[in-house]
Chains A and B, each alone.
Chain A
Amino acid sequence: MSLDPSYLDYPKRRRGMDHGYYPYSSLFDRKPVQWPDDKKLMIWPVISLEYFPMVPNDDPFRAPGHMQTAYPDYRHYTAREYGTRIGIYRLLSAFEKVGAKVSVATNSVIAERYPQLVEDIISGGHEIIAHSTDMNGTIASGLAEANEKALIEASLAALENATGTRPRGWLSIARSQSFNTAKLLAEAGVDYMCDWANDELPYGFQTDTGAIANIPLNHELSDRQIINVQQQSVDSYVQQMMDAADWLLAEAEQYGGRMLPMHLTPYIMGLPYRISSFEKLIAGFAERNDIGFARGDAILDSWKAQA
């Protein structure tokens, strides 16, 4: 059996991308970005604050980190709860020590279940960005558009209700979107999403309902990827972040301000045997005059003002 003849048709083979979301652009051909206070490298910490219900619904897929054993999976339920009880506070304290403000990608259910935690995040000067409802709130093609719209609205409304501010940013679970997600986020008034990993600075993204920005949250430089997936040590994680910072600082000399996303998971990085190495890493960054820390909304506003 040969393939259907249409397999050799390429209807989107043309100049530029094979979709209309953004035009091609090389990072090295753009107007150099200048960060506030003459920082050369802006580190963007993003902490994922996740609530895993005891029963996964796998619709449309099971989130990374979700329950794995037959019911009741106490081991994973409680190990994830370790993150929201202990790990998050270790991370918040670490960032407080160096005076850094961060983005916290928060399941809206967290705001309803643990109002004290959300209050501590807000009073610490950090940004809450929307991260769906809970870890059953996954998105992929196959999720009906009306259901996806309702999911996004439920997350934004609950977080707005808890914090008094509508989140400006959105991170999808596992960065997984449907063809409708960007459009629905733009329609809901979200200013930026973090799902697309194709760049190292913010860029504009067009949808049928208007524009939204994408701030790329490097998935390869996450604690989940390096420590959980690749099974590297925290010392290797620290080395990799330092190597990335060194490289980007050198590049910034020639090409303008650079950004280093730092995606963290409380139940991964917030463990007693890992957190000290992490604290030393960010203390080292904080000592340098050419490195700053910023929330996603601050990065977005700075970038937009120069675009």
Chain B
Amino acid sequence: MSDVQKSDPGLYDYAPYRGRPKIEWPDGKTCAVWVAPNLEFYELDPAINPHRKSWPKPHPDVVGYSHRDHANRVSHWRMAEMMTKHGFPGSVSLSVALCDHIPEVVEDANQRGWEFFSHGIYNTRYSYGMDEVQERAIIEDSIETVRRATGQRIRGWLAPALTHTPRTLDLLAEYGMDYTCDLYHDDQPTDVKVKSGQLTAIPYSLEVNDHYGFFIYNMSPREYADTLIRQYDRLADEGAQSGTVMCIPLHSYLIGQPHRIGPFEAVLEHIAADGRAWITKAGDIVDAFRKQTGGGS
């Protein structure tokens, strides 16, 4: 790692919120809203990465594993049906091994017209400590596995369990990916400095991620729904100055629990009825952003 990275990782230039060129979304919408379901597969007894434990408890971590397995058996279907009912497509953060283990879930998402980006091979295998050859292998595996399973060429990346190396973003751009969901510095897209090609950071969110809502902030389902509505209302207001982006990052094993999915419906109803939301997929947002700015923001 260079000295520069020890302080500033050199991802982008500082750009204050005031005085930016206006981003305009289609049809005069002020806030681009995208929903990012994490469709994941976690291993019961994964190989050990010396830099991070896969499970807080010794394997098998029955509660941790089975809670996440609820996604594929039960809650994905609940969440996906509700999104479709209200006209929200998914941009899927995919553990690509799910294509092998439970193709039913991946096929369902594909048939709903959802877009896929890679969230690594498994959410129990981390990039920390990988050399370049290893990191290229998981990128190539991701591209090929999703292509084979869905016919789609992945355009984006959310690092597996948010684990990176300092070369990840350069490699993503080199492989022709268009966006990363790993940077949380803005409510508008930003082009990231990469060695070759072009890579756009699209606002994802930890703060309004359902995992944060329920396990960091300990919100009730109704408090979480209210949080999302407030987040949207503010971003839609501010987007009149220059278009904003709101991501709703979900894990079906959380939002699709029986006590949460009902209150969550109020969020989708609110955003769909508001009239200021451009409800779309990640790739469309990146394309619209680049068309206007050339990526120069």
Contact = CB atoms under 8 A, between A and B. Distances in A.
Are A and B physically bound partners? yes
Interface of A: 1-3, 5-10, 12-19, 24-28, 60-61, 140-142, 172, 174-179, 195-200, 216, 218-221, 226, 229-232, 236, 239-241, 243-248, 251, 260
Given A232-B220, A247-B258, A3 B49 contact: yes
B292 interface: no
Interface in B39-77: 41, 43-45, 47, 49-50, 57-60, 62-63, 65-70, 72-74, 77
B69 A198 contact: yes
Contact of B63 (A18, A179, A219, A241): A219
A246 B262 contact: yes
Given A14-B100, A18-B43, A200 B74 contact: yes
A247 B259 contact: yes
B73 A199 contact: yes
Interface in B70-129: 70, 72-74, 77-78, 97, 100-104, 121-122, 125, 129
B77 A243 contact: no
A141 B55 CA distance: 13
B73 A239 contact: no
B258 A260 contact: yes
A14 B134 contact: no
Contacts of A141: 58-60
20 contacts: A2-B129, A3-B131, A7-B130, A14-B101, A24-B73, A27-B74, A27-B77, A141-B58, A141-B59, A175-B62, A195-B63, A198-B65, A198-B73, A220-B257, A229-B218, A231-B218, A240-B220, A243-B258, A243-B260, A260-B258
Given A243-B221, A244-B258, A177 B62 contact: yes
A-B complex: 3 closest residue pairs judged by Cβ atoms:
A2-B131, A198-B69, A244-B259
Interface of B: 41, 43-45, 47, 49-50, 57-60, 62-63, 65-70, 72-74, 77-78, 97, 100-104, 121-122, 125, 129-131, 133-134, 137-138, 214, 218-222, 257-263
A26 B69 CA distance: 11
Nearest to B100: A13
A15 B62 contact: no
B142 to A, nearest CB: 12
A240 B97 CA distance: 34
A132 to B, nearest CB: 14
Contact of B60 (A1, A179, A229, A236): A179
A246 B222 CA distance: 14
A18 B73 contact: no
Contact of B70 (A9, A175, A198, A239): A198
B261 to A, nearest CB: 6
A7 B263 contact: no
A178 B130 CA distance: 30
Nearest to A177: B62
Nearest to B70: A198
A10 B99 CA distance: 14
Given A24-B104, A26-B73, A140-B57, A239 B62 contact: no
Contact of B67 (A197, A230, A232): A197
Contacts of A239: 220, 222
Contacts, number: 153
DSSP class of A's interface residues: helix, strand, loop or mixed?
loop
B218 A1 contact: no
B129 A176 contact: no
A196 B129 contact: no
B47 to A, nearest CB: 5
Contacts of B121: 10, 13
Contacts of A216: 66
A195 B63 CA distance: 7
Nearest to B141: A8
A80 B198 CA distance: 60
Nearest to B47: A7
B62 A27 contact: no
B44 A19 contact: yes
Contact of B134 (A8, A24, A230, A231): A8
A245 B262 CA distance: 10
Nearest to A229: B218
B63 A176 contact: yes
A24 B58 contact: no
Given A2-B130, A25-B73, A197-B70, A248 B258 contact: yes
Contacts of B73: 24-27, 198-199
A195 B65 CA distance: 11
A165 to B, nearest CB: 26
B102 A24 contact: yes
Nearest to A245: B258
A198 B59 contact: no
Nearest to A6: B47
A25 B63 CA distance: 19
A198 B67 CA distance: 5
Contact of B77 (A10, A26, A177): A26
A205 to B, nearest CB: 11
Contacts of A14: 100-101
Which of B45, B58, B258 has most A Cβ within 10 Å? B258
B265 to A, nearest CB: 9
